[in-house]
Amino acid sequence: MSGHSLDRHDDALLAVRAGEGDEDAFEVLVRRHGPVLLRLAEQLLGGPAEAEDAVQEALVSAWRRLPEFRGEAAFGSWMYRIVTNRCLNVLRARRPLTPLEAVAEPAAPEPQASPERAAETGAAVHALRDALGGLSPEQRACWVLREFHDLSYEDIARAVGISPQAVRGRIFRARRALTEAMAAWR
């Protein structure tokens, strides 16, 4: 596999090459960005199986859209956007409907973390993860991108597809809800 020698090249060049049909260049990008994207999807969705599906679909979709990707954003930010989008769609589909949009349809239950996981990560960390499940999809996405991925408000705005001002509001509401949910653990 010639991908090895491509490793040192930067993302922008690899993305252009991949856009022109160079699968080896794309494979380097997948290896380079896959792990962090998988972690993002796990944090957003809570479950590893769904997360893996979401990231795989996002990457295949990126491959298809690469010919139009003209480096207006860094490849990494672009992937953050695609993965976030996909995860938001998953979350919205399973989220209990708010009264405003209530056209009754049963919502899927929040996934429960496995007992092994709880034991291995510690109860407080587990509790934080549970509390995340109580946030709206956008709040959750904004907060996770900020706190776990250190993205700027502008980058989060691009990833989530809302204005930086709206990001600010959602992060605030997320912190507000999480401090309350975690009050018992202090």
- H-helix or E-strand spanning residue 91: helix 75-94
Q: How far is the CB of 6 from other proteins (least distance, A)?
A: 8
Residues from 40 through 69 that contact other proteins (CB under 8 A): 42, 48, 52, 55-56, 59-60, 63-64, 67
Q: What Å distances lie between residue 125 and 128, 132, 133, CA to CA?
A: 5, 11, 13
Distance CA(183)–CA(164), nearest Å, equals 28
Residue 23 touching other proteins (CB under 8 A):
yes
Residues from 106 through 135 that contact other proteins (CB under 8 A): 120-122, 124-125, 128-129
Q: How far is the CB of 113 from other proteins (least distance, A)?
A: 13
Q: What Å distances lie between residue 29 and 14, 22, 115, CA to CA?
A: 7, 11, 34
Residues from 146 through 165 that contact other proteins (CB under 8 A): 147-148, 151, 155
Neighbours of 53 (CB within 10 A): 15
Specify whether the CB–CB gap between 88 and 139 falls below 8 A.
Answer: no
Distance CA(170)–CA(141), nearest Å, equals 9
Residue 96 touching other proteins (CB under 8 A):
no
Residue 100 touching other proteins (CB under 8 A):
yes
110/131 with CB nearer other proteins: 131
Specify whether the CB–CB gap between 41 and 54 falls below 8 A.
Answer: yes
Residue 85 touching other proteins (CB under 8 A):
no
For residue 174, which of 145, 136, 128 has the smallest C-alpha distance?
136
74/94 with CB nearer other proteins: 74
Under the rule (CB under 8 A), what is the footprint of other proteins? 2, 5-13, 16-17, 20-24, 26-27, 30-32, 34-35, 37-39, 42, 48, 52, 55-56, 59-60, 63-64, 67, 74, 76-77, 80, 100, 120-122, 124-125, 128-129, 147-148, 151, 155, 166, 168-170, 172-173, 175-180, 182-183, 185-186
